[in-house]
Structure 1
Amino acid sequence: MNPSKRVSVGILASLLTATALATPTASAATAQEPCRIARTTLNLYAGADVLYCSTVPGAKVQRIANQDPSDVEGYINGSSEHQFLCWTTGETHDGGNNIYYFTYVDTLVHGYGIGWVKSSDVLTTTHPFPGMSRCGG
């Protein structure tokens, strides 16, 4: 083979290898699944239409819709599809609004293991999530 062709083939092979390594695969994808409203059969919310959505790992679940550290019921582990029953308004939080979602904890600190998660810990771009019920009304 001509020496200049060998160099060209070598460069092409290097470029193809670099491109393959830089291209994300399905298993390496980091995009979150979209949130959705669906009927659940879980005991806590049986028969209700709930929001299924990803969360920030370690999201705090508060006893009431505020940011008081003494009101922590527990934490959400960051599952890809956590369930939220409804939403309400409460104390303004660092997410820039006052929307909170009602849910259950994955890791219990104390209390009943249910409470409110600030909207910025629920990975959707619209708060409250369209089509989701407001709590108590």
Structure 2
Amino acid sequence: MGKHKRIGPAVVLSLAACAAVSTAVAAPAAAATCYASGGNLYCDNAPAPIYAAPQYSRPNGNPERVVDRLLTTFSYFKCYRTGQQHGGGNNVWYYTYGDQTGSWGYVAAVNVYTSVDPYPGVAHC
């Protein structure tokens, strides 16, 4: 017969914690909900600032004015424009209105959970 080695409760807890973490990491992420209709985009998004122009900063280096914020996580986007490059690896910005004051402006596509930018069927502004 082989020898069995006893392990303490701390090791058992550590193994259980590792199993929980590996299970959480292995679970597939839910797919974003996006669709275009009538040239408009309806899509999941991150809460994000809405800028007056499709850029974070002006050519002189000053920051672009934030006109409102998206607070919800599913929003309407009227159209798209190209602008300043952002962390999403492209220069697409979506035009929408904010949740705080209803002001219109641009959100970088990195904050909109589309599978491709510009999203097919969305009108160019």
> Which TM class, normalised by the smaller chain length?
0.5 to 0.7
Q: Does the residue aligned with 1:132 lie in a helix, a strand or coil?
A: coil
Is 1:67 aligned to residue 67 of structure 2? no
1:32 Cα shift?
A: 4.7
Q: Which residue pairs with 1:52 in the alignment?
A: 42
Q: Deviations over 1:5-62 (max 9, x none)?
A: xxxxxxxxxxxxxxxxx79xxxxx96254201125xxxxxxxxx411001112x1100
- Once the two structures are superposed, residues 72-103 of structure 1 have per-residue CA deviations (whole angstroms, 9 ceiling, x without a partner) of 01110133x30001101011112221100000
Give the number of the structure with larger relative contact order, counting CA–CA contacts within 8 Å between residues 6 or more apart: 2
Partner of 2:71: 77
Asked if 1:121 is matched to 2:111, the reply is: yes
- Any residues of structure 2 matched to 1:5-24 within 5 Å, and which? none
Secondary structure in structure 2 of the residue aligned to 1:67? coil
- Give the 3-state SS of the residue equivalent to 2:30 in structure 1: coil
Residue of structure 1 equivalent to 2:8 = none
Question: How many residue pairs end up in the alignment?
Answer: 95
**Which string of whole-angstrom CA distances, capped at 9 and with x for unpartnered residues, describes residues 90-126 of structure 1?**
1111222110000000123xxx710000000001120
Alpha carbons of structure 1 residues 75 and 97: separation in structure 2 relative to 1, 3 Å: same
Q: Distance in 2 between matches of 1:88 and 1:99?
A: 6
Q: Does the aligned pair in 2 maintain the 1:32–1:54 contact within 8 Å?
A: no
Which structure has the highest helix share of the two?
1
1:101 alignment partner AA: Y
Query: 5+ unaligned residues in a row in structure 1: which ranges?
Result: 1-21, 24-28, 40-48
Q: Distance in 2 between matches of 1:130 and 1:70?
A: 28
Q: Kindly provide the amino acid, as one letter, of the partner of residue 63 in structure 1.
A: A
- Aligned CA-pair RMSD: 2.2
2:110 partner letter: S
Moved over 4 A (4+): none
Residues 1:97 and 2:90 aligned together: yes
Map of 1:31 onto structure 2: 30
CA–CA separation in structure 1 for the residues paired with 2:84 and 2:51:
12
